[in-house]
Amino acid sequence: MTTLINHSLLLSPNLKCYFFTSFCIKSPTYPNILQRHRPLILKCSNNPEERENNISSSINLKDALSGMVDKQVEELLNKEENRVLLDGLEKASQRVEMAKKELAEIERQELEAKQMKGYINHLESKAFEIAECQQEISEARALVEEAKSSLSLNSDAFENGYALIGNRSEEIDKNEERWESIRAASISALVGTLAGLPISLTQATTNFELILPLAINFISCALFGVTFRYTIRRDLDNFQLKTGTSAAFGFVKGLATMAGGLPLEPTAGSLWSHTYDGAVYVSENLLVFLFAAIGLDFCFKIRLLSPFPIKLSAPKD
């Protein structure tokens, strides 16, 4: 719908303006139906009263125009043809709103799909890490099983060794072991007697007095040799065991020699004398048995003597 306004202006020398205006309203649907021409006359003057009257008349004109336009619009809207168009426009606007909502829903679903894809990628990385950890755990379990099997084999061999040692008494050649013990006693007695000979020479004044200490050293060192062989067995590198055996024999024989002397009296001199004599006797005998132990160890190392037991029989299948 369009509104056409035609106007003309005439100016007069006394500053009075006359507006002759005509307007018409045309409808695009029915152009020939709504056409009205009404003349509009406005006057301008320098008189304030006339100006106010002109302004009020222009305002009334505007109101009249708006009322006429609203009325014409209502008439147009109330017509059936225009109502169909308005319904189509409303439905089109509804479809546009629904399309906007669907677009927003699609965007939301795309965002959720992106988030889900990121979460799936995160889960896949975690699954890969878990698979690596499980592989490491399986390898560690394989190593543990291998260690257990080796330990079981070692324990079986250890138990078999102990069982073999427990049955030694039945498997050892007793006659050969006795002969080897006699050889060890002879070597120990010879070395110990020679080591104690200088000490016996300092204490004896005659040859007859020399016989008894030499005989005692010989017998003691012979017993020491047999004991040393059965004590050390095949643990030839055990220094504490070898020196402990020698020290035990030296202390026992030295204290026994001291006990065979003068009785102890409740005086400081007697106590000091027994202490001094005991230290001397223990040192002398300890020296003798240490030399005997060194001789036996040397014979074991050069295989002149065999440690106890001589050999072990092979285990039966």
- Residue 268 carries which DSSP code? H
Of the candidates 298, 284, 134, the residue with the CA atom closest to the CA atom of residue 217: 284
Position 197, amino acid: L
Question: Is the residue at 143 inside a domain?
Answer: no
- Residues 174, 62, single domain; the answer is no
Q: Are 308 and 229 in contact (CB under 8 A)?
A: yes
CB atoms within 10 A of CB 219: 14
**Residue ending a domain, choose from 45, 63, 78:** 78
Contacts of 2 (CB under 8 A, 6+ apart): 25, 26, 28
What is the number of alpha carbons within 13 Å of residue 67 lying toward its C-beta?
6
Greatest mean pLDDT among 7-21, 151-165, 218-232 lies in 218-232
Which residue, 78, 95, 116, sits at the end of a domain?
Answer: 78
Please check whether residues 185 and 292 belong to one and the same domain: yes
How far, in Å, CA of 296 to CA of 306, rounded? 10
Place of tokens 């009322």: 67
Q: Has residue 220 got a pLDDT over 60? A: yes
Q: Residue 20's closest CA among 38, 46, 47, 2?
A: 38
pLDDT of residue 221: 93
- Domain membership flag for residue 152: no
Residue 166 has pLDDT above 80, yes or no: no
How high does pLDDT run on average in the chain? 76
Give the residue from 30, 63, 78 where a domain finishes: 78
Q: Residue 289 — very low, low, confident or very high, per pLDDT cuts 50/70/90? A: very high
Q: Where does the pLDDT of residue 187 fall: very low under 50, low under 70, confident under 90, or very high at 90 and above?
A: very high
Let me know if residue 7 belongs to a domain: yes
Count Cα atoms within 13 angstroms, Cβ side, for 188. Answer: 28
Q: E strand or H helix at 17, and its extent? A: strand 17-26
Is 185 in the same domain as 295? Answer: yes
Does residue 254 belong to any structural domain of this protein?
A: yes
How many residues in the chain?
317
Give DSSP secondary structure letters for 19-65. Answer: EEEEEEEE-SSSTTTS---EEEEEEE-S-HHHHHHHHHHHHHHHHHH
Does residue 64 carry a pLDDT above 60? Answer: yes
Rounded distance, CA 280 to CA 258, Å? 9
Give the Cβ contact number of residue 1 at 10 Å: 14
Domain that holds residue 230: 170-301
In a domain, 265, yes or no: yes
H-helix or E-strand spanning residue 16: none
pLDDT (mean) for 293-312: 84
State which H helix or E strand residue 7 sits in. Answer: strand 2-11
**Percent of the chain whose predicted confidence (pLDDT) is above 70:** 71
Digit-coded pLDDT (tens) for 81-135: 667 777 778 888 888 988 898 999 999 899 998 888 888 988 888 888 898 888 8
pLDDT band, residue 7 (cuts 50/70/90): very low
Q: Is residue 109 in a domain?
A: no
Q: How far apart are the first and last CA of the chain?
A: 122
117 within some domain = no
Q: Residue 286's pLDDT band (boundaries 50, 70, 90)?
A: very high
Residues with Cβ within 8 Å of residue 190, at least 6 apart in sequence: 221, 295
Residue-wise pLDDT tens digits, 188-206: 999 999 998 988 888 877 8
175, 286: one domain: yes
> What per-residue confidence (pLDDT) applies to 8?
43
Shared domain check, 176 and 62? no
pLDDT for 53:
64
| 3-class state of residue 128 by DSSP | helix
What is the model's pLDDT at position 36?
47
Q: How many domains does the chain have?
A: 2
Residues whose CB falls within 8 Å of the CB of residue 181, separated by 6 or more in sequence, listed in order? 225, 226, 229, 230, 308
Which residues pair with residue 4 across a beta bridge? Answer: 24
| Same domain (yes/no): 68, 179 | no
Q: Is residue 175 part of a domain?
A: yes
